[in-house]
C-alpha cells in the first residue's frame, strides 16, 4: 500500500512543486494530499487518517493530530529549531526533495508496522560467489547487474563482502546499510527504500557499505535471509555480491537464490579451489541446477560438472567502472538480458 502523505504548508509555490515532484518520481510510494489553510487542514483531519504529514507550525498549532501516525514539523533552517513544536520531529524544508523523501521514509520506518509495506512483489535473487579471491567476482556482479538494467529491469546490487569495494564503483554519499542491520526486526522494506541509491551512469540501485567490519559479523543466518528478501522487494532482480567464504550464511543465500553465478579465472589457485568446491557434494549438488559458471578474464576451462558456462574476456583498463561497463556489453547466452 502507498503511504498516505499530507503536505500542510501555507507556502503555495513550494507545496505545489513538492507535490508535483512526489507525484512524478514517487507515485509508487506516496498518495499525496495538499492543503494550504487551517480551515481545510482541520476538515481533512476530521474526515480521514494519514500515515505521515509535513506540517507548518502556524497550521499545526493547537490542531488535533491524532489521525496522523507520524506528524513532522517542517523547519525552514532560518528560525531557531527550538521555535518549532518540540513534541514533533523536525524535517528540513530547504534541501533536495530526494533527501526529504529519504528522511521521511527513514523516520516513518520507525513507527510503521513491521508487516506494512508497499504491496510490491519480490524480484529474483542472483548471488555471485567465488571460492577464490581476486577472480573479478565484483566486476562480474556489476557487469551482470548493468546488463539487466540495460534490458529494462530494475536491479539492486547488494554487497555483502566483509570489506566492501562499493566506493570503487559508486559515489561515497548516503546512509550506510548498517542502519538496516540495526533494525532487522523492524519494517525493512520502508527503511531500505529510504537508503537505497541509484547510480546515474549505470542505473543500478545500491546501498552504501556497512560502517564497520563488526556490523556484518553480528548478522545471523536468519537475519541475512530477512535482509536479502527485503532488498528484493519492489525490484525485478537483486544481485548479491558474496564474500569468498563458504560459511552458513553464504550457503543459505545460495539455497534461497534463483541463480548462482560461480566465478573463476585462469589462475591455478582459482581453478584448484573451484575443483575443491565442486567436490563438496553436500553443498554443490543442492545448487547445481541453478549454477552458472563464469570463466572470467579469458579463462580456458576443461570439462566440469556444470551444464552452463559463460566466458568473459580479459579487459585491461585502468578504471574499474570502465571494466564492468565493458563486460556488461558482452553477449552471453543465458546471462543478463537473455536469462
CATH number (domain holding residue 90): 3.40.50.10850
In a domain, 117, yes or no: no
In a domain, 116, yes or no: no
Cβ–Cβ < 8 Å for 209, 160: no
Same domain (yes/no): 294, 329? yes
Same domain (yes/no): 314, 168? yes
Three-state DSSP state, 187: coil
For the chain, counts of helices (H) and of strands (E): 13, 13
Q: What is the CATH number of the domain that holds 271?
A: 3.40.50.300
Closest CA to 319 of 130, 142, 151: 142
Same domain (yes/no): 199, 77? no
Q: How many CA atoms lie within 13 A of 93 on its CB side?
A: 21
From first to last of the 339 residues of the chain, give the pLDDT tens digit: 789 999 999 888 999 999 999 988 888 899 999 998 889 999 999 999 999 999 988 888 888 899 999 999 998 776 655 445 567 888 999 899 999 999 999 999 988 876 656 656 789 999 999 999 999 999 999 999 999 999 999 999 999 999 999 999 998 888 899 989 988 888 899 999 999 999 999 999 999 999 888 888 889 999 999 999 999 999 999 999 999 999 999 999 999 999 999 999 999 999 999 999 999 989 999 999 999 999 999 998 888 888 788 889 999 888 899 999 999 988 654 443 333
Same domain (yes/no): 133, 107? no
Same domain (yes/no): 150, 291? yes
Domain ranges, residue 278 = 124-338
Closest CA to 334 of 261, 228, 241: 261
Same domain (yes/no): 223, 333? yes
**How many folded domains does the chain comprise?**
2
Residue 74: count other Cβ atoms within 10 Å of its Cβ.
25
Amino acid at each position: 500500500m502507498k503511504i498516505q502523505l499530507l503536505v500542510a504548508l501555507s507556502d503555495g509555490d513550494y507545496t505545489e512543486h513538492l507535490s508535483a515532484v512526489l507525484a512524478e518520481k514517487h507515485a509508487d510510494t506516496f498518495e499525496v494530499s495538499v492543503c494550504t489553510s487551517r480551515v481545510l487542514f482541520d476538515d481533512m483531519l476530521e474526515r480521514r487518517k494519514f500515515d505521515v504529514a509535513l506540517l507548518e507550525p502556524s497550521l499545526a498549532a493547537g490542531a488535533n493530530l491524532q489521525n496522523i501516525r507520524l506528524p513532522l514539523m517542517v523547519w525552514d533552517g532560518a528560525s531557531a529549531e527550538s521555535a518549532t513544536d518540540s513534541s514533533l520531529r523536525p524535517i528540513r524544508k530547504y534541501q533536495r526533495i530526494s533527501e526529504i523523501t529519504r528522511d521521511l521514509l527513514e523516520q516513518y520506518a520507525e513507527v510503521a508496522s513491521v508487516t506494512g509495506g508497499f504491496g510490491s512483489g519480490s524480484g529474483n535473487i542472483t548471488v555471485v560467489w567465488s571460492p577464490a579471491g581476486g577472480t573479478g567476482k565484483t566486476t562480474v556482479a556489476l557487469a551482470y547487474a548493468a546488463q539487466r538494467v540495460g534490458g529494462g529491469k530494475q536491479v539492486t546490487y547488494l554487497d555483502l563482502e566483509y570489506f566492501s569495494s562499493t566506493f570503487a564503483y559508486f559515489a561515497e554519499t548516503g546512509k550506510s546499510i548498517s542502519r538496516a542491520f540495526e533494525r532487522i526486526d523492524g519494517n525493512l522494506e520502508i527503511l531500505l527504500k529510504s537508503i537505497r541509491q541509484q547510480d546515474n551512469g549505470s542505473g543500478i540501485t545500491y546501498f552504501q557499505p556497512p560502517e564497520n567490519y563488526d556490523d556484518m559479523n553480528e548478522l545471523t543466518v536468519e537475519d541475512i535471509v530477512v535482509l536479502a528478501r527485503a532488498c528484493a522487494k519492489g525490484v525485478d532482480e537483486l544481485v548479491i555480491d558474496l564474500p569468498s567464504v563458504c560459511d552458513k550464511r553464504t550457503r543459505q543465500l545460495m539455497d534461497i537464490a534463483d541463480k548462482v553465478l560461480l566465478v573463476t579465472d585462469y589462475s591455478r589457485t582459482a581453478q584448484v579451489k573451484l575443483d575443491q568446491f565442486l567436490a563438496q557434494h553436500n553443498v554443490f549438488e543442492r545448487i547445481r541446477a541453478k549454477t552458472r559458471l563464469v570463466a572470467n578474464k579469458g579463462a580456458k576451462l576443461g570439462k566440469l560438472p556444470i551444464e552452463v558456462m559463460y566466458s568473459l574476456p580479459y579487459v585491461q583498463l585502468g578504471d574499474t567502472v570502465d571494466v564492468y561497463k565493458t563486460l556488461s556489453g558482452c553477449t552471453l547466452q543465458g546471462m543478463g538480458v537473455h536469462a
